[in-house]
Structure 1
Amino acid sequence: MAVRITQKLLPRFKKSLNTSATPISLEPSLNLSVKKPIEKSKLTEEFLRKFKTSFNINNISARSTFIIGKTSPTFSQNQGIGNYKVDTSEEKTLDFDDGKRLFKSVTTGKLIRSILNQQMASCDPIVNIGIWVMRSRLFDISIFRYIILFVVKHTFYDHFCAGENLDEARTTLQKLWNGGLKGIMDYGLEDATDNTSCDRNFNEFLRIVDTTKLLPPSSVSYACVKITAICPNSLLKKVSDLLRWEHRDPSFHLLWKVDTLPVLSKSSPFYHTLDKPNHLTPTEEYDLERAHQRLLKLSEKCLEMNLPLLVDAEYSSVQPAIDYLTYSTMIRINRHGNRIVHGTIQAYFKDAKERLIQATETAEKMGVILGLKLVRGAYLSHESSLASSLGFSSPIHENIQDTHACYDECASIMLEKVSKGTGAVVFATHNIESGKAAAWKAEEIGLEKNNEKVQFAQLKGMADGLSFALNNAGFLVSKYLPYGPVEMVIPYLLRRAEENKGLLATSAVDRQLMWNEIKRRLKAKIIRRV
């Protein structure tokens, strides 16, 4: 449709444009180096209105305004999307204005597909219907199953996942590497139920680490592992109960426990364990030791390959056990300058900062480099619902502003530890404000942008604008690349879809950045034809 309109309007459109102005932007507020304002005629406005309508993208809304500059970033919830305020008084840390440079490695077709997929993923009715269908009995009917898998494969799966096997994931990684980004190979499994499935998953994790030898040097930044994939979930739950009870009652001794960092604080939620739990049986102790050995062997393999390992976070019901296994392994591996094992702090928990401070202080006393991945958290609804059902207040911060503040405070703490040589951090965030704040803080305290102990990460298919801006500024940036057969990673996709409903504002900002670049490319193409 845009081509037909163009053919009719080109003669008059040419007169309405100031083609001497460079660079050309459709958004005056983003055009920082225009020598002369572009005066758009009514005809130009009509052309743009029709083109935008054809993509139905103007209905995207978000409430974010951000300052681009080397001043402390600010956040507003009273503005429409795309309302950038540019601070020109100081050198910019991250540049979101130059769309041509930002998305130079992304084709127009891919930009459009990304916008559409993110728009669908952030639309509650579409997400809710999709979740219902994939969890309903329709999924057990062959023809419906085939149709559902076909649709999922060519929409959400292709957008958020790297491929159905390791070979396809390597191909996706190579494309990212060519565009300047690194990859984090993520075997898209959910929970294991027994030692057989744990061993199978463990061997796959080892294979992922081994395959990095076949990839371009430094193209893989981290390996990652889910403890729930190498230790039965029921055992993690019981160990977490025992750790909580021990924290409440110092006389309650756990004979199987080895040296670790603090996993609980005074403000941690304890409602999961209302009654004194039974001790582990000999079989459970053996299974726990097997799980610990799996993580230790994987960490030793990563140490041999000089490949850092990220341990994912889970529900609060099992997180104490995950932190226990992670930190006890970290104590053995992260010495003598090694920063291999990384745990995860979820900033949406009220006790996150307190637990972080406890861990940093203890790690320093033990001579251990504390490696952490800092995230906001992905299970808000689950955590709040569980607490409410038990008659307790939510362990989650009361509002998003408190979560943002906690994230930024934890980020600042970890950057200070990095500067002292006692920490390593991965900022896993899709939030532009937090990305800018961390980048600005790192620069302020004098950390090199290519310091391997300070890295950023986003999910494949999310926050590409932030990823490219950080990379262009010189920081090390990676994309999480989950992979596996479509049916196997459906639980992962369901979780992604549910999480994205909470990431709507961030996703909308990213879509607007991509939309601005599509408009710029269209306008440049039209001018070349004139």
Structure 2
Amino acid sequence: MAPAISFDDTSVAFSYKSDSALKKANFIFSMVNHPWLSAMATSSVKLALKLNLPVEGIIRKTAFEHFCGGETIENSAAVIDQLASFNIGTILDYSVEGEKSENGFDKTMQETLRTVTTASQSGRIPFTVFKVTGLASFDLLEKIQAKKELTKAEEAAFQRVRFRVNKICLAAHREGIPVLIDAEETWIQDTIDLLAYEMMSSYNKEKAIVFNTYQLYRTQSLSNLKEAVAKGKQQGYFLGAKVVRGAYMEKERERASQLGYPSPIQPDKEASDNAFNDALKFCVENLDRVSVMCGSHNEQSNLLLTQLMHERSIAAEDKRIWFAQLYGMSDNISFNLAKAGYNVAKYVPYGPVKAVMPYLLRRAAENTSVAGQSSRELTLIRKELKRRKLA
């Protein structure tokens, strides 16, 4: 018998939200659900921050509280504990962007190491995560991928990048806390892959500790995933795979058009969905060598993975399979899966309000552009508000 999971059960989905928090969520997604209103609001916020107007308090009490854990790891403790009470793990994501100096890269490394230490002491933080561009110059990564000759200073800089990545992965290995390496733009992704597989060959000998991320809206990602599994088998290490649809579609298509090369993006949503679901099937079929995280807000794909597990008699709590969504989004998926006994974690961003603004603005843009995302969230929130009122 297939697992009985309903992503429409709002009493489970929003069980952790007070009435006031749910009303705040209703306000936020009502804004996002109107593209012109969302665009106007984000433009106003950008301008206010640029002019140093006192808007951080308003942002903190609205979007920041909804989508972020806090300004520090310590401030995020209440969110971590609350999620854990519903059997949902936290992935602390230091979401400060724009650190472009060597000192900034070192600071990000040290903060990421703090998340590893916190995770090892907590028992409620099953993964850590970092972006390579938080530890390295984007231009340097791009130059390496383009196979351009590096100066001595650039070679030294890349060795420092490798040192930072290795230090985080070594700490993760020592503490037994898996670490996710986020995916980025195609024109630096090969360099990121290179680093990820180097780390896997060192630290994934017993099990998957280092996870690379595969964006399945890319035409090449499914074959890249299959090649990575084959390479891992050949070299004697396990593959950690976080599969997502992707986050840079408009930027990728625009760059391909400007520079005159074929778009690396799937032709339509159906092709992306098929590739994503095929990636899940492939990972489950190769579970002896692969650990997989399904990073998706798509209900059908999450349900598919539960069905694949059922067909192969894989226990819901098998630690080689995880489901993950962003904090503040798709609670109907996260909380209903967790209640059914599956391994679920929420990406919980943290950092100073002003520094996390690029992340928050992307969430607003994502919910506005992804067909049906904000309207689905809004429908569920309003359904739960009505249920509570009648109750």
Deviates more, 1:228-237 or 1:503-512: 503-512
Q: Secondary structure at the match of 1:426?
A: strand
Q: Secondary structure at the match of 2:208?
A: coil
User: Would you say 1:123 and 2:34 are equivalent positions?
Assistant: yes
Deviates more, 1:438-447 or 1:93-102: 93-102
- CA distance, structure 1, for counterparts of residue 46 and residue 258 of structure 2: 23
Does the 8 A contact of 2:13 with 2:334 survive in 1? no
Aligned to 1:511: 378
User: Would you say 1:327 and 2:194 are equivalent positions?
Assistant: no
Aligned to 2:335: 468
Does the 8 A contact of 1:102 with 1:472 survive in 2? no
Q: CA deviation at 1:457?
A: 0.6
Rg: which structure is higher?
1
- CA distance, structure 2, for counterparts of residue 513 and residue 169 of structure 1: 26
Q: CA deviation at 1:214?
A: 4.4
Aligned to 1:224: 129
Q: 1:131 to 1:518 in 2, by over 3 A?
A: closer
Matches within 5 A, 1:411-426: 411-418=280-287, 421-426=288-293
- CA distance, structure 1, for counterparts of residue 383 and residue 96 of structure 2: 36
- Deviation by residue 1:56-111 (Cα, 9 ceiling, x = unmatched): xxxxxxxxxxxxxxxxxxxxxxxxxxxxxxxxxx5444223544344333333322
User: Would you say 1:193 and 2:100 are equivalent positions?
Assistant: yes
- Give the partner amino acid of 1:150: G
Q: CA deviation at 1:153?
A: 1.7
User: 1:372 is matched with which residue: 241, 263, 269?
Assistant: 241
- Give the partner amino acid of 2:108: N
- CA distance, structure 2, for counterparts of residue 360 and residue 93 of structure 1: 31
- Deviation by residue 1:325-353 (Cα, 9 ceiling, x = unmatched): 11111111100x22110010001111111
Aligned to 1:299: 169
Structure 1 stretches of at least 4 aligned residues deviating more than 4 Å after TM superposition: none
- CA distance, structure 2, for counterparts of residue 97 and residue 317 of structure 1: 39
- CA distance, structure 1, for counterparts of residue 9 and residue 325 of structure 2: 21
User: 1:521 is matched with which residue: 354, 371, 388?
Assistant: 388
- Give the partner amino acid of 1:327: Y
Q: Secondary structure at the match of 1:157?
A: helix
Q: 1:92 to 1:510 in 2, by over 3 A?
A: farther
Q: CA deviation at 1:489?
A: 0.8
Q: Secondary structure at the match of 1:430?
A: coil
Matches within 5 A, 1:95-244: 95-136=6-47, 138-142=48-52, 145-147=53-55, 149-215=56-122, 217=123, 219-242=124-147
Aligned to 1:496: 363
Matches within 5 A, 1:37-116: 91-116=2-27
Q: Secondary structure at the match of 1:317?
A: helix
Does the 8 A contact of 1:166 with 1:483 survive in 2? yes
With normalisation by structure 1, the TM-score equals 0.71
Aligned to 1:454: 321
User: 1:480 is matched with which residue: 343, 347, 355?
Assistant: 347
Does the 8 A contact of 2:120 with 2:176 survive in 1? no
User: 2:265 is matched with which residue: 385, 393, 396?
Assistant: 396
Does the 8 A contact of 2:72 with 2:351 survive in 1? yes
- Deviation by residue 1:354-393 (Cα, 9 ceiling, x = unmatched): 1111111111111111101111111111111111112234
Q: 1:101 to 1:489 in 2, by over 3 A?
A: closer
- CA distance, structure 2, for counterparts of residue 333 and residue 98 of structure 1: 40
Q: CA deviation at 1:402?
A: 0.8
- Deviation by residue 1:417-475 (Cα, 9 ceiling, x = unmatched): 21xx2001111101111111111112211211111110011001000000011112211
Q: Secondary structure at the match of 1:318?
A: helix
- CA distance, structure 2, for counterparts of residue 99 and residue 140 of structure 1: 39
Aligned to 1:38: none
- Give the partner amino acid of 2:54: Y
Q: 1:519 to 1:355 in 2, by over 3 A?
A: same
Does the 8 A contact of 2:368 with 2:374 survive in 1? no
Does the 8 A contact of 2:93 with 2:130 survive in 1? yes
User: Would you say 1:429 and 2:299 are equivalent positions?
Assistant: no
- CA distance, structure 2, for counterparts of residue 116 and residue 134 of structure 1: 16
Does the 8 A contact of 2:142 with 2:187 survive in 1? yes
- CA distance, structure 1, for counterparts of residue 13 and residue 6 of structure 2: 8
RMSD after superposition: 1.7
Q: CA deviation at 1:281?
A: 2.0
More helix by share: 2
